[in-house]
Homo-oligomer: A and B are copies of this chain.
Amino acid sequence: MKNTFGSSVAVTLFGESHGEAIGAVLDGLAPGIPVDEGFIAAQLDLRRPFGKISTPRQESDPFRIVSGCFNGKTTGTPLTILIPNGDTKSKDYSKTKDLARPGHADLSAQLKYHGYQDFRGGGHFSGRITAALVAAGAIALSALEKKGIAIRSHIRACAGVEDRAFAPDEKGLRADIAALRGSRFPVLEQAAAEAMQKRILEAAEEHDSVGGILETAVCGLPAGVGEPWFDTLESVLSHMLFAVPAVKGVEFGDGFALAGMRGSQANDPFRVENGRYITTTNRNGGINGGISNGMPVLFRCAFKPTPSIFREQETVDFAKEENATLALEGRHDPVIVHRAAVVVDSVTALVLCDMLALRFGTDWLAE
């Protein structure tokens, strides 16, 4: 379905970096969910660049809810969020429009859209479009939180520096999630944050960029969510996660590390505890057979380094169909992984709202 995702609760995404506006239509949300515009703004703020490690450009993200919200609550009909694009200096892009930026979608978009695509600033492929996902996701996150479901990501690794993993026990995990709330550089250990930022600045000084790994936890998801064979929880989450720009890997639980284990290590033993089924380890990330088992859902996304760097790169001019070199100018982030955390939280919330509505009915989320 291209730019629409979900069945019971669906999000449609539109817009280009330098067009009039970007936005999202959120369809199928239960009627009566509170829409907290302050929280939406706060979430959008987490996605914006900050400090020395981000571009000095001041993106402002004023948004308007143009449908689907009445008296501060969802109506049950499509909720549309519009984020106008501000001053976007389109002239920056005209002279390099036929030079495919390495690591970007420019060439593949050219081969798909035959030159009709809006090339300015990446157009529809720009990371800016994720702002609309964040705004829509804020409503989903709030609704889930009211149902006891908390979602949060931290930077597990960046620029060669590792943060500690989420606490293995649910109490510790809930504390970690609380501690990360509102963080613009979400890391669990302060020393790791400082080391990461130091390395990021070093890369920036060398006109280069870095990538990183986000680790996400979902607490409180009911057991029994996921639809085998093809709409397993892992399948649907990964579908959405790989749509986030720069994501090149997704793993659940211990993920790739599981491939090197023995079965006796990898199997999470089941136990009954206070009348509830738990696993004593959570190497499978809260998912067995594609269905949630009631334990925290855990996954990691690998983000490649920001492709925009300030070094001369080899590329092609697809108007002339010949080799060329490209040296980017302008303003670019040496890292985006910290800004991507709120994007991952948001798309996770959108997927879970859909799967929960499918499982428990249209009204469940607002009950």
Contact = CB atoms under 8 A, between A and B. Distances in A.
B256 A256 contact: yes
Interface residues of A, number: 151
Nearest to A308: B263
B266 A228 contact: no
B2 A256 contact: no
B271 A323 contact: yes
A114 B30 CA distance: 10
B124 A77 contact: yes
Q: How many copies of the shown chain assemble into the complex? A: 4
B108 A293 contact: yes
A314 to B, nearest CB: 4
Contacts of A20: 64-67
A56 to B, nearest CB: 19
A252 B302 CA distance: 10
Given A235-B239, A263-B208, A14 B291 contact: no
Interface in A116-132: 116-118, 123-125, 129
A303 interface: yes
Interface string A338-367: 000000000000000000001111111000
A88 interface: no
Contacts of A203: 262-263
A105 B285 CA distance: 13
B67 A266 contact: no
A256 B254 CA distance: 13
A209 B316 CA distance: 49
B290 A105 contact: yes
B78 A108 contact: no
Contacts of A16: 67-68, 70, 75, 77
Contacts of A129: 229
24 contacts: A1-B1, A1-B231, A2-B229, A2-B230, A7-B8, A13-B229, A14-B27, A15-B78, A20-B67, A31-B116, A78-B124, A104-B288, A104-B289, A108-B223, A108-B224, A108-B293, A111-B223, A111-B224, A234-B248, A239-B239, A242-B252, A248-B252, A270-B314, A358-B361
Given A75-B117, A104-B288, A269-B314, 14 more contacts: A3-B230, A12-B27, A19-B66, A20-B66, A32-B114, A108-B291, A157-B260, A209-B263, A211-B261, A236-B239, A255-B302, A270-B316, A284-B304, A359-B362
